[in-house]
A and B are shown apart, each in its own frame.
Chain A
Amino acid sequence: MEDRKHFRDSYDAVVIGGALAGLASALTLANKGKKVLVLEQHNLPGGVATSFVRGGVEIEATLHEMMSIGPKECPLKIRNFFDEMGVDIEWLRVPDAYRFVDDVSGVNVLVHPGTHGNFETPAKEIASACDDADGSVYRRVLELLQLCSRVYDSVNILSVTHMSKPAMLLKHPDFVKTAGYSAKDVIDTFHLPKKAVDILSAYWIYVGDTLENLPFTIWAVLMADYLGYGSYVPKKFSHEMALKMAERAIAMGAQMEFGVRVDKILVKDGHVAGVRLANGEEVRTRYVVCSAYPDKAYTQMIEPASAVPEGAIKFVNAKTVGLTCFSVVLLLDGSPEELGIRDYSTFYAPKGMDLKKIFDECGTDGPYNYITSICTNLANPGCTPEGTCIYSITALPKPEGWMGVTEENYEELKRKNAEYFIDMESKRLGVNLRDHILEIVIETPVTISHYTGAYRGSVYGYMHTMDDHIVARLQMSEKENYIPGLAFAGAHQISGDGMGPAVTNGRKGAKIILDQMAEEERSGRKA
C-alpha cells in the first residue's frame, strides 16, 4: 500500500506553493497546455489569502482590499486576468478609500475613491481637510493624482510591451521622468500643505519604506489604482479567490496536492531536474516555480548547495526583507451600526504622521503607532451572523523588530501589542471593544511563518526602496535568473507585496519558465 503511485513520471513544471502567486503561475502554465503539479504544504490554498472559522463563524484572515480589479464595465488587469482564465469571483466594491485620523494635527477625513480613473472626489475631500479658500490645494492634489495616473497607465503598458528608450520617452514621458525619484521628491514639487501630504501618505505603509526612500513609481501605482478605481473584496473572503483559482487550475489539468512540503529543489548539470518532498519522495521536472523566498531557496533548498552561484547569494543579501504583520482580528457582538463603527477602513496615527518615527518604531517589537482598521461587514454586509461584525486592527512591523521572539516571551509580546491596539481603537471609536469580543485572533510574524513558511514571517517580500527600485528591478531582471529552470513567484518578486501584485508576480514567474521552455525547444535540447 505504501508504494502507491502519487505522481506522474514527470511534469512540465512543478509549482511550489499554492497561494495567489503560485496559483497564478499554475493557471498561466496550464492555460498553455503544460502539465503542472502544484505542491502546497498547508491543507488549503491561498497562503496568507485565507479565512478561518471560530465559534462557527468564518472570519477573513488578512484581506483589506484588492487592487487592480475595477468595476465590471471598466475592468483592471487582475479582473481581466481572472476573466481570461475563467476564474469567476463575486467581487464587492469597498465603499470608501479610507478615513485618515491624525490626533496631533487634528485631521480626520474620509476619502472616497473616484470611478474610472477620475480623481476629483478624493482630491476634493483631501483639500477640504486643509485650508483651501482659493481651491489651489484641490487643483494641486488633483494634478498630482493625475500624474500618478499617467505613470500607472505607463507601467501597465510597459509591463507587457517592449519598447525602445526613445519611444518610451516619447510615449511615456511622465513615467520616464519620475522613474529616478522618490515619492517625496515628486510630491515636494507640488508644494502641498503638510496636512494634504499626510492624508495622501496614508497608504504608505502598504508598500513599505518612508516617502524619502520609496520609489515614486510604486507610490503612484498604488494611489492611481486605489483612488482612481476603488478596491474590491470577494464575497466569501479571500479564501473564495484562492479556492476558485485552485479549482480552475485543476479543471485546466493541473494536479494540486495539499499537505505536501517541498524540502529540496534538485539541480543537475546546471539545470533544475526535480524536487524532493519532506517525506523523501522525488518528483521529476525541468522547471520549478518557487513561492518560498529566494533567501530560503538559495540557502536551504537547492541541492547540491554548490549549484547556487555566488551572485544569487549577493542578490538576496542586497535586499531588505519586507514588512511582516501584527494583526488583531476581532469578531464583535454588535453590528457596525450598534457599535458606532462607520468606516470600512481607517488609517490612524495617534502620535502624528512623522513617518520616520513611525517607521523606526516598526523596527521594534511594539507597540506601534500607525494602524489600519477594517470593518469587513461594511463592504460585505451579512458576511457574519446578524448582530456581529469583523473588526481587524493591523500594524506592519519590520522583521528586525521581532528577531528577539522566543517561545516563552511570545504570548506576552502578542498580548502587549493587542491590548495597546484594542484600547487605542476603543478610545478613537468611543466604544470599549473589550466589552464586545466574541472571538479574538492575533496574527504575528510567527503566525505568518507557521502558515506559509515565509522568511521571517514577511508578507511584503523585499522592500521597495531607492536601492531596489522597481524600474531597476525590471531593467535588470533578465540576468537574475540564476539557476536555469528555476523561477520564483511571490511577494518577493518584481511587483512586490499585495494580493494583486502577487498575481502579477505569479504570471511573471510562469512567463520566465515558458520563455525558457520555448528556448529549450528551439535549440532542440528537450529532455
Chain B
Amino acid sequence: MKVKGFLKDVGGASAVTKRRQAAYDRASAKPAHKDPMGAVAKALHPGLIPLTVESVRPASKTAKTIRFTSEAHLPYFRAGQFLTLVIERDGYRVTRPYSISSAPYETRGEHPCVEITVRRPKEGGFIANYLYDEVRAGDTFLGEVGLGEFHYEALRDARHVVAAAGGSGITPFVSMAKEIKNGREDFDLTILYGSVSEDDIVLREELEAAACDRVHVVHVLSGDNPGWTGEKGFLNRDIIKKYSAEDTTYFVCGPQVMYDFVQKELEALSVPKRRVRFEVFGQVRDITAFAGYPQEKKDDTYRLRVRIGVSETEIPARASEPIAVALERAGLKIHTACRSGSCGFCRIKVLSGKYFVCPQNDGRRGADRDFHYVHACSTYPLGDMTVKVNI
C-alpha cells in the first residue's frame, strides 16, 4: 500500500504554524496563575512553622503533655505521625522528633492545636529533661508537623489493629484512638500497653476517654503490683494472640528492648511481615554496640572539615556520635527530622574520610551509597573527614 492522499500536501507545516499563531493571538494577556495542588502541597507540608506553648500538663508521674498552637496554619497530619521540634538552648540548635499525641481533628475547628507528650528518661535526657523541667506556657519554638510513615493505611493494613506500646511509645496510639473515636479513622484498635507499674502509665486519662466500641485499651503491668487484676507480664505471644483477630496488623512503638522482644514474639506467632509495622528507632543509644563498629575508635575525636557553599570550616567530631550531632554542637546548620536515617532530610556528601553507618538506621538509596551520600543523623566518623552540607 502506498501512503497517499493528503500526504502530497506539503503545506501542512505552515498550517500548523498558523494554527499556533492563532491560538496565541486568541490568548488573554492577563496573568492567570491558579494552582490548588500547589496550595494543598504547601498546606500539608509547610516546613518549619512557629509553635507557641499554650499549656503544659502532667501526663503521668514522669511525663508531661505540651500543647502548642501556631499563628501559622497547622497541617492536617495523619494519626501516628510525629513532629520535629527545633530546640535552641545554651547556643545549641538541635532537633528532636516527638510523636503527636493529640488527634488530627484537633488541628481543625475553633481552637487548632497539636500536643506532644515528653517522658523524662532515667538516664540521658539532654533535651527531654529540658522540655520536662523548663518549658512554660508562652515559650516559642519552630517545628515541622506531620512527618513519618507510622500511620494506618486502609489499603495495606488489616481492619483490626493491635498496637504494642511501651513507655512514651503510647503517644501515636493516643492520636489514633482519638481520631477513631471522632469518626475520622476507620479501623478497630486494641492497644496493649506495657508498663512496669500503674504510676508509669502515660496519658491514662486520654486513653480512657478515647475507649469506645472500636478502641480497647489493655494495660499490661510487668512489675510487682499487688492488687492489680489486669494483664500481667510482658507483651508476649499469649497476650498478643489473645487480643488478635484472625487478620490483624501490628503497630509497635516503644523502647528498643521492647521492639526486640515483641518482634520475636510476633515471629513465633508466624505473623507475615506485611502485617507488622515498627516506628523508627531514633538515634541509637550506643553505636559501639553494633557489629562492625571498630571498638578501638570509640573514644576518638576527629577533625571534620565542612564545606558550605564555597566556604569551608573545621569542627571536632566524636567517633561515638553522628555527624549531625557534631554539626549541631558546632552551631552549624543541618536539616534533620526523624533522626533515624529514614527521612533523608539530613543527606550530605562525604568528600573524603571513613565512616560507619548505623545498620539499624540505614535508609540510603543504592546510588547514594556508591557516591558517598549519607544521612548525617546515622553516620559516624571513623577518621578525619570532609563533608559537603547544604547551605
Residues of A within 8 A of B (CB): 1, 4-8, 43-44, 51, 53-54, 56, 58, 139-140, 143, 147, 169, 174, 176-181, 185-186, 189-191, 215, 236-237, 239-240, 243-244, 247, 255, 257-260, 295-296, 298-300, 310, 313-315, 317-318, 324, 333, 399, 402-408, 410-411, 415, 418-419, 422, 434, 436-440, 445-450, 453, 455-457, 466-469, 471-473, 475-476
Cα–Cα, bound, A404→B36 (Å): 7
Q: Is B28 an interface residue (CB 8 A)?
A: yes
Cα–Cα, bound, A476→B23 (Å): 13
Cα–Cα, bound, A236→B366 (Å): 6
Cα–Cα, bound, A466→B20 (Å): 8
Beyond A44-B347, A243-B368, A324-B37, list 13 extra A-B contacts (CB 8 Å).
A1-B331, A177-B10, A177-B12, A240-B366, A257-B309, A314-B27, A314-B28, A402-B37, A446-B40, A457-B38, A471-B17, A475-B17, A476-B20
**CB within 8 Å for A467 and B366 given contacts A5-B309, A440-B156:** no
Q: Is B257 an interface residue (CB 8 A)?
A: no
Which 6 residue pairs spanning A and B have beta carbons closest together? A180-B12, A6-B309, A318-B27, A469-B16, A259-B390, A450-B41
A-B CB contact pairs (8 Å), 12 listed: A177-B8, A178-B7, A180-B11, A180-B16, A243-B373, A318-B23, A419-B155, A437-B155, A449-B40, A455-B38, A456-B36, A466-B19
CB atoms of B274 and A239 under 8 A apart: no
Residue of A nearest to B32 (CB): A317
**CB within 8 Å for A239 and B44 given contacts A43-B390, A190-B1, A449-B35:** no
When distances are taken between beta carbons in the complex, the residues of chain B under 8 Å from A411 are 78
Report the minimal beta-carbon distance from B50 to chain A, rounded to whole angstroms: 17
Residue of B nearest to A259 (CB): B390
Q: Which of B39-58 contact A (CB under 8 A)?
A: 40-41, 43-45
When distances are taken between beta carbons in the complex, the residues of chain B under 8 Å from A448 are 37
Per-position binary interface string of chain B over residues 291-313, scored 1 when its CB falls under 8 Å from any chain A CB and 0 otherwise: 00000000000000000111101
Report the minimal beta-carbon distance from A208 to chain B, rounded to whole angstroms: 15
Cα–Cα, bound, A139→B366 (Å): 46
Cross-interface CB contact of A457 among B14, B37, B367, cutoff 8 Å: B37
When distances are taken between beta carbons in the complex, the residues of chain A under 8 Å from B13 are 176, 179-180, 471-472, 475
CB atoms of B16 and A437 under 8 A apart: no
**CB within 8 Å for A300 and B16 given contacts A243-B368, A244-B367:** no
CB atoms of B155 and A418 under 8 A apart: yes
Cα–Cα, bound, A185→B16 (Å): 14
CB atoms of A438 and B274 under 8 A apart: yes
Per-position binary interface string of chain B over residues 150-167, scored 1 when its CB falls under 8 Å from any chain A CB and 0 otherwise: 000111100000000000
| Interface size bracket, B side | 35 or more
When distances are taken between beta carbons in the complex, the residues of chain B under 8 Å from A257 are 309, 390-391
When distances are taken between beta carbons in the complex, the residues of chain B under 8 Å from A296 are 33, 35
Per-position binary interface string of chain B over residues 339-372, scored 1 when its CB falls under 8 Å from any chain A CB and 0 otherwise: 0001011010000000000000011111110110
Residue of A nearest to B29 (CB): A310
CB atoms of B365 and A53 under 8 A apart: yes
CB atoms of A472 and B36 under 8 A apart: no
Cα–Cα, bound, A298→B31 (Å): 8
When distances are taken between beta carbons in the complex, the residues of chain B under 8 Å from A324 are 37
Q: Is B111 an interface residue (CB 8 A)?
A: no
When distances are taken between beta carbons in the complex, the residues of chain B under 8 Å from A169 are 10
When distances are taken between beta carbons in the complex, the residues of chain B under 8 Å from A7 are 309-310
CB atoms of B19 and A469 under 8 A apart: yes
CB atoms of A43 and B391 under 8 A apart: no
Q: Is B268 an interface residue (CB 8 A)?
A: no
When distances are taken between beta carbons in the complex, the residues of chain B under 8 Å from A53 are 342, 344, 363-365
Which of B3, B41, B153 is the most central at the interface, judged by chain A CB atoms within 10 Å of its CB?
B41
Cα–Cα, bound, A51→B368 (Å): 11
Q: Is B242 an interface residue (CB 8 A)?
A: no
Residue of A nearest to B272 (CB): A333
CB atoms of B40 and A239 under 8 A apart: no
Cα–Cα, bound, A54→B365 (Å): 10
Per-position binary interface string of chain B over residues 62-101, scored 1 when its CB falls under 8 Å from any chain A CB and 0 otherwise: 0000000000000110100000000000000000000000
When distances are taken between beta carbons in the complex, the residues of chain B under 8 Å from A415 are 154-155
Which of B16, B37, B273 is the most central at the interface, judged by chain A CB atoms within 10 Å of its CB?
B37
CB atoms of A299 and B24 under 8 A apart: no
When distances are taken between beta carbons in the complex, the residues of chain B under 8 Å from A418 are 155
Cross-interface CB contact of A5 among B26, B75, B154, B311, cutoff 8 Å: B311
CB atoms of B19 and A467 under 8 A apart: yes
Cross-interface CB contact of A44 among B28, B30, B344, cutoff 8 Å: B344
Q: Is B328 an interface residue (CB 8 A)?
A: no
Cross-interface CB contact of A237 among B19, B154, B366, B390, cutoff 8 Å: B366
CB atoms of B274 and A410 under 8 A apart: no
**CB within 8 Å for A58 and B390 given contacts A215-B16, A450-B45:** no
Cα–Cα, bound, A440→B332 (Å): 36
CB atoms of A333 and B274 under 8 A apart: yes
Cα–Cα, bound, A38→B272 (Å): 45
**CB within 8 Å for A407 and B43 given contacts A143-B1, A258-B390, A437-B274:** yes
CB atoms of B371 and A247 under 8 A apart: yes
**CB within 8 Å for A6 and B9 given contacts A402-B37, A437-B156:** no
Report the minimal beta-carbon distance from B274 to chain A, rounded to whole angstroms: 5
